[in-house]
Structure 1
């Protein structure tokens, strides 16, 4: 949640670029501030914090539990990369399913200003968004786009958590202190880039599905994630999936770094208070 408070404005710019905003990330951010004020950069923060409290709590907790269990079965030795990848995939998928409703409300709140005035949802906050989505679309509406959300999270977590552990072990094997600043920051930085590259295509599809509104005839633009991927590939080409990659990387990589650094620091802080 601390990482999200720092990164939220970059996330807003990333979503706007994926939804068609033109110009550099700085130009898009400046346009948002010019039209709607600085507060618009934090649109959807309540949903973003709820998403982290559900999704990230679940994925990091499950990954740590699985890693400890696998290490115990491996006689305390470092895990091979494939076991870390499996733990990351599993934790990401379960966490994303838990956090999918909050993720949906976050995307809708961030994308609202890009819609025509008559189509805007104008949610008052995350609670209002939840209530209206359930009222208008049923409980299942909270899980629209859940499939690509889960797949995106699995790819991101595999890239983030497995590469972070692997990178830290490599850095420590090179002679740097275990758990030191170099290994923590170095591992987190490498993990941030790899997580970005692995997950952006799935994030692109997820964003399009969660933002879509019905066509004039009442049908939806995409039937599902595969249809969205195929239409995008056919009509716009494979590089479209990496729209906004620099912004996405600038958004994901620091978020990963802050998250992993805070995750390493919080237990130390807790110990100071006897927890």
Structure 2
């Protein structure tokens, strides 16, 4: 009975649904928060190499709106959607699938926090590796106009960027800065998924099942995700947008070199440049993602 083909087919459908729901939740959240992500990336870039006063996110947003219009905040939308269709689909779908399989093996409705940490970290890392090419394209499309005119790449969009990057820099350029991207994804996935599930289980047990428990848990997960992942996000952006000097030498050799140089030039708090914007972007993104995940699973898993 356990090997009945219909049972296997049902299991594969359920696991496919996990990935489809994960990607859908990621795309919805990213589309809603892309303007904030645009401001966050530019604030980080403008603060690079400086210990002085950080650019004001509000003044930057006003200036951008005045000079370039509202649609400028959605530059790179196609890249963001393409990235989430790969990245979110993988990291969220894989985590849910691993958790479901663990529960099936143990026959329990809950798993330990250690396993939540392990599965969320694994899923985040794999998702980052798969989605890194689109992530590189998104960062470059968003920040290309900040470079001096002679150094701009002038990508026409994500597909142009994805086509030109390996052609001009080699296929391995797709995974430049992959280390900070993977570390950032592991930190973010762990920060949002493990605390969310743990807090949700605690509140359901203490207060009884209720929709407000999901909202409280998502707020708690958003705080954890922001604090844990911000330094990795900062280093990731710096490594992904770097261009070689006249001698063909990049400013950072690797992730560790980027961290050391950043601390020397900007201090440790430099990793949290634009933190308010980061929280404003990642916090709602985490909350929307988690609540959308729960809603879609409630609708389609019944």
- The residue number in structure 1 matching 2:274 is 244
- The residue number in structure 2 matching 1:215 is 245
- The residue number in structure 1 matching 2:157 is 125
- The residue number in structure 2 matching 1:157 is 189
- The residue number in structure 2 matching 1:39 is 71
| Whole-angstrom distance in 2 between the partners of 1:63 and 1:101 | 21
Q: Report if aligned partners of 2:137, 2:162 keep a CA contact under 8 Å in 1.
A: yes
What is the aligned length? Answer: 270
Relative to structure 1, the CA distance from residue 126 to residue 155 in structure 2 (aligned partners, 3 Å threshold; closer, same or farther) is same
Aligned positions of 1:99-138 closer than 5 A: 99-138=131-170
- The residue number in structure 1 matching 2:6 is none
Coordinate RMSD, CA, aligned: 1.4
Structure index of larger Rg? 2
- The residue number in structure 1 matching 2:200 is 168
TM-score (norm 2): 0.86
The answer on 1:50 being equivalent to 2:76 is no
Q: Report if aligned partners of 2:231, 2:272 keep a CA contact under 8 Å in 1.
A: yes
Structure 1 residues 60-112: Cα deviation after superposition (integer angstroms, max 9, x where no partner): 11101111122233331421211100011000000101110000000011111
| Whole-angstrom distance in 2 between the partners of 1:62 and 1:218 | 39
Shift of residue 13, structure 1, vs aligned partner = 0.3
Moved over 6 A (4+): none
Structure 1 residues 136-175: Cα deviation after superposition (integer angstroms, max 9, x where no partner): 0121111111111001100111111101101101211221
Shift of residue 271, structure 1, vs aligned partner = 6.4
- The residue number in structure 1 matching 2:97 is 65
| Whole-angstrom distance in 2 between the partners of 1:65 and 1:77 | 14
| Whole-angstrom distance in 2 between the partners of 1:97 and 1:122 | 25
- The residue number in structure 1 matching 2:5 is none
TM-score (norm 1): 0.94
Unaligned 5+ segments in structure 2 are 1-26, 48-53
Q: Report if aligned partners of 1:176, 1:182 keep a CA contact under 8 Å in 2.
A: no
Match of 2:41 among 4, 15, 18: 15
The SS at the match of 2:126 is helix
